[in-house]
Amino acid sequence: QSVLTQPPSASGTLGQRVSISCSGSSSNIGANSVNWYQQLPGTAPKLLIYSNSHRPSGVPDRFSGSKSGTSASLAISGLQSEDEADYFCAAWDDSLNGAVVFGGGTKVTVL
């Protein structure tokens, strides 16, 4: 059972907007930044969003992140077929000696 809670799945058609939630607590999301990782099938995770809402260079601007209190969310607007992947949220947890905690992951399916 993961410290951060994500829905196991989400789906949308091409061009739709999909949102993924990530729920935590005051010791992790409430106190620290949230980062998001994308894992395409059979590949290693890739940084998608850092510091709640910032995109690394090369990440399309259809990906956006936000945080409020002890929850965060990732939105994909204009869903593309190549966005079909697993998405994980993560944050440091102050109650676990600064351990990094991940969400269980959300599988995004493009219908």
Partner 1 sequence: EVQLVESGGGLARPGGSRRLSCAASGFTLSYHWMHWVRQVPGRGLVWVSRISSDGSTATYADSVKGRFTISRDNDKSTVYLQMNSLGAEDTAVYYCARDSGRPSGDLDHWGRGTLVTVST
Q: By the criterion CB under 8 A, which residues form the site for partner 1?
A: 2, 32-33, 35, 37, 39, 43-47, 50-52, 54, 56, 88, 90-92, 96-105
8 versus 81: smaller Cβ distance to partner 1: 8
DSSP bridge pairs for 18? 76
Query: Could you tell me if 81 and 110 are in contact, meaning their C-beta atoms sit under 8 angstroms apart?
Result: yes
CA distance 107 to 28: 23
CB of 12 to partner 1, least distance (A): 22
76 versus 105: smaller Cβ distance to partner 1: 105
68-95 exposure pattern, b = at least 16 Cβ within 10 A, e = fewer: eebbbbbebeebeeebebbbbbbbbbee
17 versus 54: smaller Cβ distance to partner 1: 54
CB of 22 to partner 1, least distance (A): 12
